[in-house]
Amino acid sequence: MNVAVIGSGGRENAIAYKIAESTLLESLFIVPGNPGTASLGKNVSINTSDHAAVHSFCTENKIELVVIGPEQPLTEGLADYLRDAGIPVFGPDKRAAVIEGEKSFSKELMKKYGIPTASYEIFTRDDYSKALDYVQNGSFPVVIKADGLAAGKGVLICATLAEAEDALKDCFERNLFGSAGDKIVIEEFMTGEEASIFAVTDGDDYVVLPSAQDHKRIFDGDKGKNTGGMGAYSPAPVINEILLTEIEKNIIAPALNAMKQEGRKYNGCLYCGLMITPQGAKVVEFNCRFGDPETQAVLPLLEGDLLELFYSAAIGKLNKNAVRYSGGASVCVVAASNGYPGSFEKGFEITGLETISDMDIKVFHAGTRFDGGKVVTSGGRVLGITAVTKENDLAACKEKAYKALKKINFGNIYYRTDIADKGIARLK
């Protein structure tokens, strides 16, 4: 089977890595890819917003499945364009991808179908004064979210009224999030522990992959600004079998049914970002794709054939037995550029990659590029170093991941030192 993976980040590197293991695979292309995917298939430089160019490439190379990684091409309708041309796609169409593309839609959907989530109100730019009144008369902490796509940085947790007022200025006056901040969701701050669940679905049936926990804040101890994610581990001990059953019953199945009822049948990966509260699991957010960096932790724990799973979902005949959890554990630590998620320097040579020879260590490239035969930094999140153990041993995973990370270096390298600590503490 000839396959094209759309995207250039760590998530796409992990997806390409697992697809490359498939016995069904003939040729693998990554559009546009990165230095990490170059050894797994052929990187192809195409503007993925140019749907006609992507279609032409797929036709010329007899592509039999397209796997779309990031949210942007999904919300732009790339899946629709290719499906209309008869090419199977793993990833929701534009009408279904709105579950991430518009947080207000997602919240209204959950309210309509009784899916547990935080209480909320929606405000547009024209409602600026009403939004101010709302926070001035509300309780704290409070969460303010840009409605549209903001690369994982559009969520502002405000501990005080002053912070909330400043967040409203970021959205409505300073235009920090551009058009994504034309509408905002203000919601209650939920207390508990976050976790992520991926449901791979053909729109009718689904299979749940091992749970994970992301680390969104930039500093140790979950402090500082929100980022796209500074590391993840899997499985997350906060989700046991009983809770997972409740999540499937109260969140995943109702969400897929709701989308179908709304004429937006969902095909692809439904990302369920959850808060495990004293009252049970509640939805923080739905995303229309795999999470990053959770994907780099979850996929290495799968046995079986991920390509078979994706293809069966894409053609509407989900093979729930295509993959299975290995029983092991994984920890992914993100090596970032110091200054991220704000301004940072690029172009530093990355050294030590060739010293990683342990089969249980995977280095997934995110913000990297080739420069004269060297691999250099080109983004905020640069690499994801993932360690895997055959047994469910998070402590051993963490030790292996950080030991490997110490062999890698680049100018202004920064990483958190506490990835997986919450999970390890739960297991003691």
Residue 20 lies in a domain: yes
Which CATH number is 377's domain given? 3.90.600.10
The answer as to whether 278 is a domain residue is yes
E strand segments, 244-358: 268-277, 280-287, 302-304, 323-325, 329-341
Q: How many domains does the chain have?
A: 4
| Amino acid of residue 269 | C
Please state whether beta strands 65-68 and 89-90 pair in parallel, antiparallel, or not at all (unpaired). parallel
Q: Is the pLDDT of residue 153 over 80?
A: no
Residues 199 and 151 in one domain: no
Q: 166: which strand partners?
A: none
Residue 163 backbone dihedrals phi, psi, to 5 degrees: -65, -40
How far is 142 from 120, CA to CA, in rounded Å?
10
Q: What pLDDT digit, counting tens, does each position of 174-233 carry?
A: 888 998 889 999 999 999 999 999 999 999 999 999 999 999 999 999 999 889 999 999
Taking a C-beta distance cutoff of 8 angstroms, is the pair 114, 261 a contact?
no
Q: Mean pLDDT score of the chain, rounded to an integer? A: 96
Task: Report the CATH number at residue 24.
Answer: 3.40.50.20
Pair of tokens at residue 428: 């003691």
Q: Are residues 48 and 72 in the same domain?
A: yes
Considering the domain boundaries, does residue 103 fall inside one? Answer: no
Same domain, 215 and 128: no
**Same domain? 132 vs 78:** no
249 is written with which tokens?
A: 């019953």
pLDDT above 90 for 358: no
**Residue numbers of the domain that contains 255:** 193-325
CATH number at residue 313: 3.30.470.20
Q: What is the pLDDT of residues 288-306, one digit of tens each?
A: 999 999 999 999 999 999 9
Query: 94-101 vs 253-261: helix axis angle to the nearest 10?
Result: 130
> Which of 33-42, 104-113, 155-164, 313-322 has the lowest average pLDDT?
155-164
Give me the amino acid identity at 123. F
DSSP annotation of 190 reads: P
Task: Tell me: do 367 and 257 sit in the same domain.
Answer: no
Token pair belonging to 220:
């140790």
3-state secondary structure 36-91: CCCCCCEECCCCCCCHHHHHHHHHHCCCCEEEECCHHHHHCCHHHHHHHCCCCEEC
Q: Which two tokens stand for residue 175?
A: 């235009």
With respect to residue 340, please indicate whether it lies within any of the assigned structural domains: yes
Task: Report the amino acid identity of residue 16.
Answer: A
Is residue 348 within 8 A of residue 410, CB to CB? The reply is: yes
- pLDDT of amino acid 428: 83
Higher per-residue confidence, 148 vs 400: 400
54 and 141 within one domain: no
Domain end position, chosen among 269, 304, 325:
325
Which of 152, 167, 188 is at the close of a domain?
Answer: 188
Q: 56 and 32, same structural domain?
A: yes
- Cα separations in angstroms, 80 against 8, 109, 185, 271: 21, 22, 28, 20
Average of per-residue pLDDT across 392-409: 97
Is the domain of 350 the same as that of 403?
A: yes
Residues 184, 200: one domain? no
Residue 111 covered by a domain: no
- Look-up: residue for tokens 């691999």? 375
Full DSSP string of 264-283: ----EEEEEEEEEETTEEEE
Beta strand ranges found along 69-216 (DSSP E): 89-90, 120-124, 142-146, 155-158, 183-188, 193-201, 206-208, 213-214
How many other CB atoms are found less than 10 A from the CB of residue 39? 11
Q: Are residues 342 and 271 in the same domain?
A: no
For residues 52 and 40, membership in a common domain is answered with yes
Is the pLDDT at 149 greater than 90, yes or no? no
Question: Residues for the chain: how many in total?
Answer: 428
Do residues 28 and 19 lie in contact, with contact meaning Cβ atoms separated by under 8 Å? Answer: yes
Nearest to 120 by CA among 185, 173, 183, 35: 185
Q: Is the pLDDT of residue 152 over 70?
A: no
Q: How much is the pLDDT for 223? A: 93
Distance CA 176, CA 154 (A): 9
The answer to the question of residue 100 being in a domain is: no
Sheet order of strands, 120-124 included: 120-124, 183-188, 142-146, 155-158
CB-neighbour burial class of residue 186 (10 A; exposed 0-12, middle 13-18, buried 19+)? buried
Does a structural domain hold residue 155? yes
Burial class of residue 25 (count of CB atoms within 10 Å of its CB; 0-12, 13-18, 19+): middle
How would you class 144 by CB atoms within 10 Å of its CB: exposed for 0-12, middle for 13-18, buried for 19 or more?
buried
114 in any annotated domain: no
Give every strand in the sheet of 65-68, ordered side by side: 42-43, 27-32, 2-7, 65-68, 89-90
Q: Considering 325, 353, 368, which residue would you say is the last residue of a domain?
A: 325
CATH of the domain at 173: 3.30.1490.20
Query: Residue 104: which pLDDT band, with cuts at 50, 70 and 90?
Result: very high
Judged against a pLDDT cut of 90, whether residue 167 lies above it is answered with yes
The sign of the CA dihedral 71, 72, 74, 79 is negative
- Residues 212 and 124 placed together within one structural domain of the fold: no
pTM, rounded to two decimals: 0.95
